[in-house]
Amino acid sequence: MEVNIIGLIDNTYLRPYGSTREIEALIEDTARYGAHSITINPVFLRYAREYMARKGYKFKVVAVVDFPFGAGTTETRVDAVKRYSQYADELDIVAPIGLVKSGLWSEVEYDINAVVETAHREGKVIKIIVEDAYTTREEKLELYRIVMQSGADFIKTSTGFEEKDYAEKLGNKTGAQIENVKLMAELSRKYNPRIGIKVAGGVRTYQQALELMRAAEREPDPMRFRIGTSHMMSIIESMRGIH
């Protein structure tokens, strides 16, 4: 049975040099192929909303927060969540990576709890990006636990903007990796079975998306499993290749 993978996609454009032209193309592709949402930089939130309203498009709008470094203070991150909630339906925020790497776990927990609580108060879905390429297994175990116990709606693998050299020093690969997604699924059984899993970073084929969904142990429901990709067209091409 073919899974409607496209309906699980957060169709993404986050390159820093993108203009309103790219955002319009992203919106049109999302409408044409039936992706779940667009994921964009906050600078284009209002523009995207107004463009979509003119066209009568109703799909979701996702804003990235403190992206791609997760290096802002908790106060600025909470403030951004509030401000972007005016236009965004969902928020993808990078975990405070510097605090994670410093082993300051109580500060990590305080920060993530604060942003999740703020998003939920605003009535928004929030996804925490754990940037798997930058963490050791021990750090993942603790960070995943904190994210799951925070009540976040999703845990998300990567920004797609990781530094490959640093990742390799830790023995990690960039992007969405099966082993990390399996670990998320395993820990979610213990800490938060309801949490959604979003895979992002290098997802380019239908087969890859299916394998990641199986690893996540999630059904094809956009509130349980999501794919963040700027390669939706190559996923569609790979599906055509199957038939």
CB atoms under 10 Å from CB of 66, counted, come to: 24
Quote the tokens at residue 159.
């920004």
Q: Is 225 helix (H, G, I), strand (E, B) or coil?
A: strand
User: Residues with catalytic annotation?
Assistant: 92, 156, 198
CB pairs under 8 A, 24+ apart, for 15-24?
16/41, 18/44, 20/44, 20/47, 23/47, 23/48, 23/51, 24/51
Quote the tokens at residue 148.
């799951």
State the maximum Cα–Cα separation within the chain, in Å, rounded to a whole number: 51
In the block, tokens 């309103």 appear at 20
